[in-house]
């Protein structure tokens, strides 16, 4: 079986730019919604002094991870900030004292058992660093009696154009990636690991292959450079030929997928105890003079970060994440989140207007889930819940390939997202009315 | 704070547009146009220009009257004009060609909602309307190179029986027939170009031509030469490469395209062997156009990871 995939231009302009550590900013705005799931509640009050690594937000919900201070200083406000999702989210504002003091509680965790390891992963504030932001301890905290995976898959596909932060991670911290893998395998009792890397990153493949030589149970799998190679179901199929059933989790196939930047973070946390307060971010786009990778404090203003990449013009679009799945920022001063692997700035790019669907079928051939985006659009426009259900709209992974290839420039991916929300509301209403 | 654009993902789009696709089809039709000018003289060019111009004018006017945005920029009307001209005898009076353009653009295309919404191929349907309305004009074909001779001589197509055109005549198009359909070589060049740049999938033409080839082989009792002649004559090449691959009126999936192509070949051969008309390509495509929604319905692809048994919803 061959999966539908599309070819995208790579634009990996920042690939050879080594990660530069940015200085601590004067002020950080740290959102309590850093991950998928329940947002945290602030655990600090205005006027509190905090140091780097102190917990400033936490939640009792399972689907969450704590949030830590990324600078030392004083909490000056706890306010609502417009989140990228379009909702207002509580955020903690910290004025830096410029000292960059590290909290006393930052010390290597003591780990003896699986439970210790999972607790450490939770305490680290680790979330999937690839963009979706799934709390890592939830992913790793499966019930081993129910589903014990036999394969850990490290997602180093980085199939989105422009982004090179995972690539830099392999090049600069390959040893830590390996160490993180060994830790996960050891404490979770998973026998094998496959590192999936797209072939457009030959140096990363070479480096990881060399590092993994002494470990026969860890293999590096070079993947075709195509989109969406890094989508979870696609990646599982490309590395193991296993198919995740509709509506099922990867665990059902015995696989667990972790982003390639998450593994080294876990390794470093266990060595140092420093929680997730900084991350690597690619800055690129058609008005960026020096495409680069930076390591920046969580909560730092995007505007401050991109200043170091020398903009040549005023942006008219700022995208957080990749150009295929990233979201538009409302404001250049949007604070950096744990999930942001890239910020892309564009100005005066070609604008297309929508025209009639010509039924060319390019979207159908592009859909990695083998759906019919053109039919889905018609069904959504008619608000036909039965048809949407029959066409399996909920299988759509929102990779955006259909919109990308459409010669009529129709926003098919957007329609799929709207259709999913419509179907959710429709079904909820039916349940309520007892239908 | 400067204004920022907020838009749904994806934020990059492929450079392929409807207009570029149509332009590629026009380019692919140029070798056949050049061949037709060589074979049938300058009037072939004039006929093509008349058809293209009337299609564009009709499209512009009807959109204007219906108070809709102008769509002549997408070049699809030009493609329809060229295809219709290619399906007409070079000697046809121009006013008849203009009537054909009206049928194609106004009746078949715009009345059903414009580009992508029509269920039948506009050029094919217009040709059939003209065929039924002006049968004698539509079935008298000029001899190749008639323009070099003092008197107009008309001929029948090789399919109509008695004439014995050689295979090379058929391949290079030096036989009687419609403007753009005779030169198989030029049409193949255009078709290969479209396949290489991925504007069309080769599946439909291969299935269409393949079915005609196999059935001709059977009906001629195994004569390879006869079967090759069958696929080179009439409107088969033009129809299979340029009309049976029209996006809007043919199935979307590969499975659907296979059924469509084989169906076209089957109907063509039924008409050629048992029908009263010499040629069946346009009717076969029209019939299969009508069956396309049904084919699409039966060839819905299985989603990745969906349960083996279809029907019912997952979860």
- CATH code of the domain containing A210: 3.40.50.11540
Minimal-distance CA residue of chain B relative to A407: B17
pLDDT-derived band at B315 (thresholds 50, 70, 90) equals very low
Would you state the pLDDT for residue A434? Answer: 73
Average of pLDDT values for A207-219?
Answer: 96
Query: How many CB atoms sit inside 10 A of residue B255's CB?
Result: 15
Test the A interface: residue of B2, B7, B10, B245 with most A CBs within 10 Å: B10
Residues of B in contact with A346 (CB under 8 A): 11
Last residue of a domain, one of A272, A292, A312: A272
Whether residues A159 and A268 share a domain: the answer is yes
- List the structure tokens of B274: 């048992």
Q: What is the pLDDT of residues B87-133, one digit of tens each?
A: 999 999 999 999 999 999 999 999 999 999 999 999 999 999 999 99
pLDDT-derived band at B314 (thresholds 50, 70, 90) equals very low
- List the structure tokens of A298: 């969580």
The residue range of the domain holding A418 is: 362-432
> Looking at the predicted structure, is the pLDDT value of residue B313 above 90?
no
pLDDT-derived band at B151 (thresholds 50, 70, 90) equals low
Strand intervals (E) in A225-360? 255-259, 278-284, 292-297, 317-320, 327-328, 342-346
Q: How far apart are the CA of A243 and the nearest CA of chain B, in angstroms?
A: 6
pLDDT-derived band at B293 (thresholds 50, 70, 90) equals very high
Q: What is the pLDDT of residues A247-281, one digit of tens each?
A: 888 999 999 999 999 999 999 999 999 999 999 99
Total-model pTM: 0.91
Place of tokens 């414009």: B114
User: How many independent structural domains does chain A possess?
Assistant: 2
> Looking at the predicted structure, is the pLDDT value of residue A26 above 80?
yes
CB contact under 8 A, B4 and A368: no
Would you state the pLDDT for residue A351? Answer: 86
Which residues, numbered 374 to 413 in chain A, qualify as contacts with chain B under a Cβ-Cβ cut-off of 8 Å? 374, 389-392, 394-395, 398, 400-401, 403-409, 411, 413
> Looking at the predicted structure, is the pLDDT value of residue B312 above 50?
no
- Within a domain: residue A195? yes
What are the beta bridge partners of residue A220? Answer: A195
Nearest Cβ partner for A411 among B4, B8, B313: B8
Size of the A and B interface in Cβ pairs below 8 Å: 160
So where are chain B's domains?
A: 18-298
In angstroms, the CA B50 to CA B40 distance is 16
Q: What is the pLDDT of residues B241-268, one digit of tens each?
A: 999 999 999 999 999 999 999 999 999 9
Average of pLDDT values for A220-225?
Answer: 95
Q: What is the pLDDT of residues A153-179, one digit of tens each?
A: 999 999 999 999 999 999 999 999 999
pLDDT-derived band at A83 (thresholds 50, 70, 90) equals confident
Average of pLDDT values for A396-409?
Answer: 95
Residues of A in contact with B304 (CB under 8 A): 3, 233, 237, 243, 368-370, 395
* A329–B contact, CB cutoff 8 A: yes
Nearest Cβ partner for A392 among B14, B117, B303: B303
In angstroms, the CA B100 to CA A25 distance is 71
CB contact under 8 A, B17 and A314: no
Residues of B in contact with A327 (CB under 8 A): 9
- A403, A413 Cβ separation under 8 angstroms: yes
What are the beta bridge partners of residue A284? Answer: A344
Whether residues A376 and A239 share a domain: the answer is no
Whether residues A372 and A230 share a domain: the answer is no
In angstroms, the CA A287 to CA A346 distance is 6
* A361–B contact, CB cutoff 8 A: yes
CA B221 to chain centre: 30
Residues of A in contact with B21 (CB under 8 A): 358, 360, 407
Q: Which CATH architecture has domain B18-298?
A: Orthogonal Bundle (1.10)
Q: What is the pLDDT of residues A64-77, one digit of tens each?
A: 999 999 999 999 99
CB contact under 8 A, B305 and A246: yes
Q: Which range among A360-364, A431-435, B170-174 has the greatest average pLDDT? A: A360-364
Query: How many CB atoms sit inside 10 A of residue B158's CB?
Result: 23
Last residue of a domain, one of A213, A244, A272: A272
User: Helix %, strand %, coil % for chain B, to 5?
Assistant: 60, 0, 35
* A3–B contact, CB cutoff 8 A: yes
Nearest Cβ partner for B314 among A357, A392, A404: A392
What Cα–Cα distance (Å) separates residue B102 from each residue in A144, B70, B72, B131, B299?
A: 70, 17, 15, 15, 34
Nearest Cβ partner for A400 among B4, B9, B301: B9
Q: Quick one: DSSP state of residue A225?
A: S
- Within a domain: residue A394? yes
Nearest Cβ partner for A357 among B2, B71, B116: B116
ipTM of the complex: 0.89
- B31, B189 Cβ separation under 8 angstroms: yes
CB contact under 8 A, B313 and A390: yes
Q: How far apart are the CA of B202 and the nearest CA of chain A, in angstroms?
A: 14
CB contact under 8 A, A3 and B21: no
* A7–B contact, CB cutoff 8 A: no
In angstroms, the CA A292 to CA A290 distance is 6
CB contact under 8 A, A359 and B252: yes
Average of pLDDT values for A345-374?
Answer: 92
- Within a domain: residue A369? yes
- What's the mean pLDDT when you consider all of chain B? 90
Would you state the pLDDT for residue B310? Answer: 43
- What's the mean pLDDT when you consider all of chain A? 93
Which residues fall within 8 angstroms of residue A311, CB to CB, at 6 or more apart? A287, A288, A289, A345
> Looking at the predicted structure, is the pLDDT value of residue B153 above 70?
no
- pLDDT-wise least confident of A44-48, B142-146, B202-206: B142-146
Which residues, numbered 194 to 213 in chain A, qualify as contacts with chain B under a Cβ-Cβ cut-off of 8 Å? none
Residues of B in contact with A390 (CB under 8 A): 313
- Within a domain: residue A311? no
* A81–B contact, CB cutoff 8 A: no
Average of pLDDT values for A424-435?
Answer: 86
Residue with more model confidence, A349 or A402: A402
> Looking at the predicted structure, is the pLDDT value of residue A2 above 80?
no
- Within a domain: residue A207? yes
């Amino acid at each position: 079986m061959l999966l539908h995939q599309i070819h995208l231009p790579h634009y990996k302009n920042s690939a050879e730019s080594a990660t530069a550590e940015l200085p601590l900013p004067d002020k950080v705005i740290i959102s309590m919604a850093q991950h998928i799931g329940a947002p945290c509640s602030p655990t600090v009050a205005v006027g509190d002094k905090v140091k780097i690594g102190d917990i400033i937000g936490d939640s009792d919900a399972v689907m969450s991870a704590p949030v830590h201070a990324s600078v030392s200083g004083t909490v000056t406000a706890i306010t609502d900030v417009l989140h990228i999702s379009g909702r207002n989210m509580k955020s903690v504002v910290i004025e830096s004292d410029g000292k960059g003091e590290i909290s006393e509680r930052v010390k290597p965790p003591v780990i003896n058992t699986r439970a210790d390891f999972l607790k450490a992963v939770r305490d680290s504030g680790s979330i999937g660093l690839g963009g979706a932001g799934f709390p890592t301890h939830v992913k790793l905290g499966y019930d081993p009696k129910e589903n014990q995976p036999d394969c850990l898959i490290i997602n180093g596909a980085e199939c989105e154009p422009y982004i090179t932060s995972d690539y830099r991670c392999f090049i600069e911290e390959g040893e830590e990636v390996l160490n993180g893998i060994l830790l996960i395998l050891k404490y979770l009792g998973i026998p094998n690991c496959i590192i999936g890397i797209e072939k457009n990153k030959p140096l990363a493949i070479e480096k990881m292959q060399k590092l993994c030589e002494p470990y026969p149970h860890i293999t590096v799998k070079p993947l075709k450079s195509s989109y969406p190679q890094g989508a979870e179901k696609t990646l599982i199929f490309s590395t193991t030929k296993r198919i995740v059933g509709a509506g099922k989790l990867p665990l059902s196939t015995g696989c667990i997928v972790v982003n390639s930047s998450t593994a080294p973070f876990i390794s470093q946390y266990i060595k140092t105890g420093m929680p997730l307060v900084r991350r690597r971010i690619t800055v690129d786009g058609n008005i960026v003079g020096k495409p680069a990778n930076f390591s920046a404090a969580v909560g730092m203003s995007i505007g401050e970060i991109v200043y170091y990449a020398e903009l040549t013009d005023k942006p008219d679009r700022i995208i957080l994440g990749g150009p295929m799945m990233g979201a538009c920022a409302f404001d250049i001063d949007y604070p950096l989140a744990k999930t942001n692997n890239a910020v892309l700035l564009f100005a005066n790019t070609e604008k297309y207007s929508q025209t009639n669907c010509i039924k060319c079928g390019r979207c159908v051939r592009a859909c990695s889930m083998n759906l019919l985006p053109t039919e889905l659009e018609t069904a959504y426009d008619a608000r036909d819940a039965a048809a949407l259900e029959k066409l399996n709209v909920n299988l759509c992974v929102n990779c955006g390939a259909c919109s990308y290839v459409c010669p009529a420039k129709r926003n098919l991916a957007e329609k799929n997202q709207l259709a999913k929300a419509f179907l959710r509301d429709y079904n909820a209403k039916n349940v309520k009315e007892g239908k | 704070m400067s204004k920022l654009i907020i838009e749904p993902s994806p934020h990059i789009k492929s450079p392929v547009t409807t207009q570029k696709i149509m332009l590629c089809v026009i380019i692919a039709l140029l070798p056949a146009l050049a061949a037709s000018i060589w074979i049938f003289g300058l009037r072939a060019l004039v006929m093509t220009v008349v058809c293209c111009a009337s299609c564009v004018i009709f499209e512009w006017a009807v959109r204007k009257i219906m108070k809709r945005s102008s769509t002549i920029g997408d070049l699809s009307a030009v493609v329809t004009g060229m295809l219709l001209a290619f399906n007409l005898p070079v000697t046809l009076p121009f006013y008849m060609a203009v009537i054909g353009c009206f049928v194609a653009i106004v009746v078949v295309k715009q009345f059903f909602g414009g580009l992508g919404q029509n269920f039948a191929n506009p050029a094919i349907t217009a040709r059939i309307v003209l065929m039924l309305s002006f049968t004698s004009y539509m079935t008298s074909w000029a001899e190749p190179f008639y323009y070099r001779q003092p008197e107009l001589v008309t001929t029948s197509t090789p399919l109509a029986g008695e004439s014995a055109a050689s295979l090379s005549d058929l391949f290079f198009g030096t036989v009687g027939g419609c403007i753009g359909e005779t030169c198989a070589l030029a049409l193949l060049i255009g078709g290969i170009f479209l396949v290489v740049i991925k504007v069309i999938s080769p599946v439909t033409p291969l299935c269409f031509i393949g079915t005609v080839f196999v059935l001709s082989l059977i009906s001629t009792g195994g004569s390879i030469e006869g079967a090759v002649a069958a696929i080179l004559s009439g409107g088969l090449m033009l129809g299979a490469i340029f009309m049976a691959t029209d996006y809007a009126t043919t199935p979307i999936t590969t499975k659907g395209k296979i059924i469509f192509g084989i169906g076209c070949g089957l109907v063509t051969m039924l008409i050629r062997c048992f029908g009263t008309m010499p040629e069946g390509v346009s009717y076969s495509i029209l019939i299969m156009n009508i069956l396309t929604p049904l084919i699409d319905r039966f060839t819905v692809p299985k989603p990745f990871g969906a349960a083996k048994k279809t029907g019912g919803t997952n979860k």
